C-alpha cells in the first residue's frame, strides 16, 4: 500500500482547508498566481502542523518532492509574510542557535543557521553593531570573533537565553576534550562569566569536567563512570 503523502489528522486537515480558503477569499476565483497559490498551500501546511518550517531543508525538500532551493524560497517568503516584530524574530534566532552546532577555534566561533531568513536576520542584527560575520566558505555557516559573539549575546539576550547558548556551546565542544581540555575549560569558563556572570565560571568548568569524564569513561570501557557523568548533564 502506498504511503499517504502529507498524512494529517482530521483536525489538521480542517485547519489546512480553512487556511487555504482564507487566502482564496482574498482574490477572484482563478486569479491567484501560481507562486502565491504555492505559498498559500505551504503556509497552510505549516499552520495546520503538517509541516515544520524549522525542519532541515533537505527533509522538507524530500517530503515535498521539490528542490532544496525551492524550499528555501518558500521558507523565506513564509517568514516575510508571518514574522512578527524584532523581538519575535530574535526569539526564533535564539531557538536556531540553541539547536545548532558550535565550534570554538582560538578566538573565533563558527555555527550554522540553515533557515535563510533567520540567518539574514542575525546578520542584520550583527551589522547594526558594526559586526560583519564571515559566511564566504559556506552560506549556511556563520563565523565571527568570539568577542563579537559575546557582545551580541550580552546586548540582545536575556539571562535564560544566555544560559541555553552556553549549555549548547559546552555540549558541542566536549568531543575535543581529550586534546584541548585545559584550553577549552578556560575558554568556556571565561565565556560563561562574560555571558551570564561570575557564577557561570564554576558551572561551565563543571560541565567540561562532566564531559571529560563521560568521554574518557565511554572510550575507556568504563560504563559506570560514563553513566555517572551523563547524569551531571541533566
Which pLDDT tens digit goes with each residue over 66-110?
A: 999 999 999 999 988 887 777 778 888 888 888 888 887 767 888
Return the pLDDT at 204: 55
pTM of the predicted model as reported, rounded to 2 decimal places? 0.61
Model confidence at 12: pLDDT above 60: yes
User: Helix, strand or coil for residue 109?
Assistant: strand
Entry field: residues in the chain? 234
**Cα 182 from chain centroid?**
28
Return the pLDDT at 7: 83
User: Who has greater pLDDT, 99 or 3?
Assistant: 99
140-196 pLDDT per residue, tens: 888 888 778 877 877 777 777 777 777 777 666 544 444 444 545 555 556 666 665
Dist. CA 115–CA 79, nearest whole Å: 10
Dist. CA 167–CA 161, nearest whole Å: 10
Amino acid at each position: 500500500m502506498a504511503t499517504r503523502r502529507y498524512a494529517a489528522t482530521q483536525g489538521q486537515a480542517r485547519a489546512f482547508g480553512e487556511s487555504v480558503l482564507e487566502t482564496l477569499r482574498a482574490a477572484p476565483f482563478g486569479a491567484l498566481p501560481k507562486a502565491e497559490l504555492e505559498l498559500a498551500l505551504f503556509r497552510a501546511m505549516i499552520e495546520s502542523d503538517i509541516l515544520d518550517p524549522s525542519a532541515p531543508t533537505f527533509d522538507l525538500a524530500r517530503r515535498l518532492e521539490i528542490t532544496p532551493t525551492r524550499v528555501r524560497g518558500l521558507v523565506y517568503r513564509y517568514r516575510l509574510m508571518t514574522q512578527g516584530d524584532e523581538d519575535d524574530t530574535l526569539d526564533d534566532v535564539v531557538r536556531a542557535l540553541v539547536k545548532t552546532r558550535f565550534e570554538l577555534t582560538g578566538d573565533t566561533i563558527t555555527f550554522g543557521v540553515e533557515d535563510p531568513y533567520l540567518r539574514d536576520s542575525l546578520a542584520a542584527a550583527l551589522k547594526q553593531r558594526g559586526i560583519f560575520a564571515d559566511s564566504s566558505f559556506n552560506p549556511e555557516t556563520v563565523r565571527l570573533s568570539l568577542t563579537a559573539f559575546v557582545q551580541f549575546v550580552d546586548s540582545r539576550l536575556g539571562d535564560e537565553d544566555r544560559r541555553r547558548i552556553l549549555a549548547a556551546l559546552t555540549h558541542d565542544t566536549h568531543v575535543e576534550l581529550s586534546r584541548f581540555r585545559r584550553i577549552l575549560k578556560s575558554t568556556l569558563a571565561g565565556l560563561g562569566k562574560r555571558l551570564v556572570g561570575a557564577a557561570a565560571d564554576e558551572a561551565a568548568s563543571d560541565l567540561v569536567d562532566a564531559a571529560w569524564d563521560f568521554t574518557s569513561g565511554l572510550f575507556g570501557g568504563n560504563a559506570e563512570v560514563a553513566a555517572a557523568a551523563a547524569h551531571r548533564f541533566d
